[in-house]
Structure 1
Amino acid sequence: MQKNTLFALFISLSLATTPLLVTAQTVDQLYQQGITAQNDGNYSKAEAIWRKVLQQLPKDAYAYFYLGKALYFQKKVDEALAAYQQAIQLNPNDVRAYHNIGVALADQKKFDRAVAAYRKAIQIDPKFALAYKNLGLLLYDQKKVDEAVAVFRKAIQIDPKNSNDSGNAENIPTDPKKLDATAYNNLGDALYYQKKLDEAIAAYNKAIQLNPNYAYAYNNLGNALRNQKKLDEAIAAYNKAIQLNPNYAYAYNNLGIALRNQKKLDEAIAAYNKAIQLNPNYAYAYNNLGNALSDQKKLDEAIAAYNKAIQLNPNYAYA
């Protein structure tokens, strides 16, 4: 936990000013209580604690930062943004506040402003790997894929071991300069989009090496392998994703596609039906089920599946 520099002042003056020492201890205790509440996911309690801190230390930038996080996880996004801005006003180099502003603005679909916030965080701290990763995600979503690839590579260059294996619930690892395995997965997605399949596969494998329980990376690896016509390897990757996450409807659907490509139609149909069982609104799986049934000349069943896909998505245009 980063401590407000006022703590050092409180402690240094403790021998001369006993009441000030009492205040410092009280604030320190509140800090610990606030962090504990936040880590426990009790964000309303955390909010109340940070407001108590600010009653005693109204210019405490760190308390505003933590208040912002507590508000954000209560979906009080506008209030969270105001708290982060107050933190920045008091500490213009608060890189974490700029980063979290980016996260909150992205949630509000204010993508250009979110990009600007991430870039400001990076300007303040060029080694802030997580800001690069989240900036890359926004650029990827905006179809700025070349730039996203460069940003993801920069994130990985800064922290090649992705040494914080899993971010916490707030999308901010314990050490804000550390990544998790998703940085490699995201790089893989961007490379896949660029049809650089060998590089994408290498990135997905690195993500899996860092986090062997990363079902999403196994699914994406399967997609890249399937596009290379390496169907046995793709099927193994999809099955691993399903083993790790038995409720992974997308992996079942992708498994069905690979099995159909191998002409294993009964198995493909079983996979599609499982995807639909897990996600009854999965129009793409109904369409794929229709394809497999059509291959088996079960045309009435195929038509029913296609009609269901169209019912779920009237603009459906997959073949």
Structure 2
Amino acid sequence: MDKNQEGIQFMQEGKWEEAARAFMEAIEQNPQDAVSHINFGNVLTAVGETEKALKFYDRALELDPEAGAAYFSKGNLFYDQECFEDAKQNFEQALKKGLESGDNYFMLGMTLLQLDQARFALPYLQRSTELLPEDSEALFQYGLCLAREEYIDEAVGVLERCVALDPGHADAFYNLGVAYGFREDAEKALEMFNKALEIQPDHLLAGHGKKLIEANM
């Protein structure tokens, strides 16, 4: 196993010091390898050393200007810092460099949502669900975005897929309740609110929705 693979395994196990050591050894063995710099930057990001991480991402891009993964990692860092315009620019650059992964489409969509650009977020979130069909969170966020833009029927279909994958997703059931409420299907809305409350008894929004429906039945 090479040092990059070893470091990734350590990261997956949450062994950050061991991961950092492995990536640093990879850099020492091949100082021109952009991937090792990105990986080391990801470890630094994970432990909160964001300024140092940015230097490694930028060094990776000096070594390989086409390294979409470096832009993606920078985008994630900026997103976590709530620097959403910077995050957007980096996720877009990652796409331009060929990183057409479900994760990159998802994060670009989420960034656009944070920038109150839901309509522009829709196609990216949709594409993320096509590339990550088993990712319940991608489906949830896409469903929410559809509902926000008043595509209620489409939102119901997507949220139904979400809860089929993750039957414990209380927020998805709650939002299904809201969507069925918009459809004026009180029985189905009540069923969804009840499911949300079964999963999470203190779900205040679901409790409120249930009371509203029951008061009007």
Q: TM-score range by the shorter chain?
A: 0.7 to 0.9
Q: Report the Cα distance in structure 1 between the residues aligned to 2:190 and 2:52, rounded to whole angstroms.
A: 45
Q: Which runs of 5+ in 1 are unaligned?
A: 1-33, 35-62, 163-179, 299-319
Query: Percentage identity across aligned positions?
Result: 25
Question: 1:159-174 alignment to 2 at 5 Å?
Answer: 159=98, 162=100
Structure with higher Rg: it is 1
| Match in the other structure for 2:143 | 222
Q: What is the Cα deviation at residue 87 of structure 1?
A: 2.2
Alpha-carbon distance between aligned partners in 2 of 1:66 and 1:212, rounded to the nearest angstrom:
26
Q: 1:240 aligns with which of 148, 151, 161?
A: 161
Q: TM-score under structure 2 normalisation?
A: 0.84
Q: Work out the CA distance in 1 between the residues paired with 2:170 and 2:50.
A: 29
Distance in 2 between residues matched to 1:126 and 1:241, nearest whole Å:
37
Deviation at 1:214, TM superposition (A): 4.0
| Residue 142, structure 1, aligned to residue 81, structure 2 | yes
1:257 touches 1:288 (CA, 8 Å); kept in 2? no
Q: 1:294: which partner in 2?
A: 211
Equivalent AA in structure 2 for residue 201 of structure 1: L
Are 1:181 and 2:102 counterparts?
yes
Q: Secondary structure at the match of 1:127?
A: coil
Matched AA of 2:80: D
**What CA distance in whole angstroms lies between the structure 2 residues aligned with 1:74 and 1:190?**
28
CA shift, 1:265, in A, is: 4.1
Tell me which amino acid in the other structure corresponds to 2:211: S
Q: Give the deviation of 1:221 after TM superposition.
A: 1.7
Cα offset for 1:276?
A: 4.2
Give the count of matched residue pairs.
215
Q: Secondary structure at the match of 1:198?
A: helix
Q: How does 1:91-240 map to 2 (within 5 A)?
A: 91-159=30-98, 162=100, 180-240=101-161
CA RMSD of aligned residues (A): 2.5
8 Å CA contact 2:197–2:207 kept in 1: the answer is no
Counterpart residue number, 1:69 = 8
Indicate conservation of the 8 Å contact 1:269/1:289, yes or no: no
Distance in 2 (CA, whole Å) between partners of 1:73 and 1:214 is 19
Report the Cα offset of residue 189 of structure 1.
Answer: 0.8
Structure (1/2) with the larger helix percentage: 2
Paired residue type of 1:85:
M
> Following TM superposition, where does structure 1 have runs of at least 4 consecutive aligned residues deviating by more than 4 angstroms?
none
Give the Cα separation in 1 of the matches to 2:98 and 2:196. Answer: 36
What is the TM-score normalised by the length of structure 1?
0.60
